[in-house]
Structure 1
Amino acid sequence: MVSIAIMGHGVVGSGVAEIFTTHKQKLYASIGEEVYVKKILDLREFPDSPLADRFTKNFEDIINDLEIRVVVEVMGGLNPAYDFVKRCLKAGKSVVTSNKELVAAHGAELLEIAKETNTNFLFEASVGGGIPIIRPMSQCLVANNVDEIAGILNGTTNFILTKMIEDGMQFDDALKLAQELGFAERNPAADIEGHDACRKICILASLAYGKHVYPDSVHTEGITKITLEDVRYAEAFHCVIKLIGSVKRLADGKIDIIVAPMLVPNKSQLANIDYEFNGIMVRGDCTGDVVFYGKGAGKLPTASAVVADVIDCCKHLKTRKFLYWADGNGKNILPWEESSRAMYVRANGSNVAEKAEKIFGEVTVINKTDAPADEKAFVVKAMPYSEFAEKIAQLEADGVSVLSSIRVADL
């Protein structure tokens, strides 16, 4: 029998406890012995839980119990999760977490401690919920040099954009609906401002390229400025707008990493991933494009990934799985202003297209039947963002009002 503890009994934590209660035989068959939930840490009380006798409000009950070999952290946030996880690893207990904020902020340090103590620190559920991605990248795709990762990494923003695309809803109305349906929090900033997607692409980039990428090193834009007009122009250009987390390996060894709304061509495998679903494309030099798709959040999908990591830890109690990256200082990251992509622009004024061509060279004008007479949308060729910004300033100095600009994905 392997004794474990669960820290946190919220949505995911209760799902983890439920799976260990209802899938005992299945889990027993996978490792040949019982996984026993000995302690559950939470400040609240759950008298109706079938595991009510296992609850504690004191972390010391877990850290001091020598029988507990694996600890699940599903509290979220950094405080006290970071301190608790660090202490568990130093005490020789393996840790499984779904906490993307923790992994994005302290992954390198915690992996180093796990290496020193011959324990495991696993976090499959931190990216993509129930979608397998960490294990496939670290094991199944290990023979590849990863050239690029691009993904729809946040279900809330994808739901909102899908409602705008398919039902013609304004952003505020789509956000309100997402909150009513439980896809968005009361304070949705982490989702709609792109921070959640940023943490996830940082974890994937760290794993793929071997050095920790910190969220504050990544240029991040959300979807709050996306309008229904932009959605319709994108449609006329045979694209959809998605919030994309992207990282590319460059020839000089640096990485180009960003989180931003992008026009995704309809032919792309990511274009048809809608509503609360996530999709992650990994481009390997041997495999080509591999796409992982599924629900990126939710009680049981995320709990399923957590439990899989727990079982992995139970199989490797005396050995350490090689999941590791070194600390990073950001010097391997291309400054975002130097990142080069084609850009969509929507503007109004007199002779917009002619003025744009004079400044940008050849542009592709997007025609939309119900567009205002003085409004034009167009796409300019790929160039560093700093050069694009300079040319936009020239366009505005020539009497054109730029209403929006969005990157065009090369996927």
Structure 2
Amino acid sequence: MTITPLLGPNGKIPILIRDDDTNFFTKGNMLESIYSNAWNNQFKISLSVIPYQKTINDVCVPPDFRNFPEHHSIENNEGLCTFLKEKIRHNKIEIVQHGVTHDLIDGRGEFSQQIDGKNEDINRTIKDTFTHYYRSLNTDHNGKNSKMGFESYVNIGRDIIKKSLDINPVLFVPPFDDFSTHNLNLLSCLSMIPIYGQSNYHRFFRSSYVPNYFKKYFASKLLKKFANVGFIIPFIMSNVDYYNNKHNQGIMLYIPRRLKINPISNSNKNAENKKGSSQTCVKWISNTISYSIIQRTPLGILNHYHHYFYDWNYDSITRKNLFEQWNQILQLLSKIPFSWKTTFFDLYQRIRKIKKINIAFTGQKITIKSGNELIKEISFKVDKVLQSVKEDIVYDEQDKTIITIDQLKPNSTFVFYVK
């Protein structure tokens, strides 16, 4: 007998849309062009914001600014900040802190290795960021009294977002999806919620058994492969990860199995003619949606707004093929009949309560004990028919293996029996 709590209320599938790399160079009209239709359909967008963008050689920086050793705070783009604050006020977006500078350190993301360790490349890069940041404040405080460590480095980004958008960021996504286990643990200690990958690719880079030179080599290969292409990536979450597992941290994402054909939207001149490639991408996501409908797992889409405007053409979308894919995907998401269009923070608040549930088995008897908070419309996926003595069970209309309890009151007990 198995019984697993579902993360969505009333058995609904949580739908998450995440867009990475909003920074000083972003314009509000770019985001509006991509997401106006999503907002009209009540979807919410999680924007991963780079607070203090360093002008590295990367597609998240306009070509005229690349390879200059400068830092650009998002607070200096007043038009963008006004746009974002308006969207926050109308509950259209949530803000996720996307690292601090999005810099590459020793060929890897800025949070891929121990920041307060002995690596000279890391220390030199972090020190450079501290120097630029405190110099930009135009105060007597030059940063000498601040310990150059993990917490103070993360707080540079948090402080910029606080000043720019009048919010205190609590969600965190590492640049290049590259997160060391050490930094993951430290981030959780700062009362932030990490969002990170748990696929084989991610575990490879976090493994202490893989030599760093291997990781650096493969990171370089991946960066070259995806440097000049536009892509849309689906991700899923596992309901099981948050049941009876007190040791996991934050929100864990998985990349679903790919199709054999590369689903990336090509960036070359012939991309518009490669309909097969675009349909493969849509099919990949369609298959992922089908899986989520069966399992009722949270489903998400990872986007990068600047991919649509390659290479930073502010005036209009240049990758028409990619934008066509996005609109098809949005239609597929809109057609899911039992979805919960939500944000990472709202989903995590529900996860936090679900993790406190305890389920005990005694013969044919199943006892569910809640934590100290009310959980509304809590659903479970079961593999046998159940009945309750006092309370009514609501069976899902599409899937009779899913049952819903209208509410679990704080510190209460709910009893089922196997028929």
- Structure 2-normalised TM-score? 0.24
- Structure 1-normalised TM-score? 0.24
**Larger RCO (CA within 8 A; separation ≥ 6):** 2
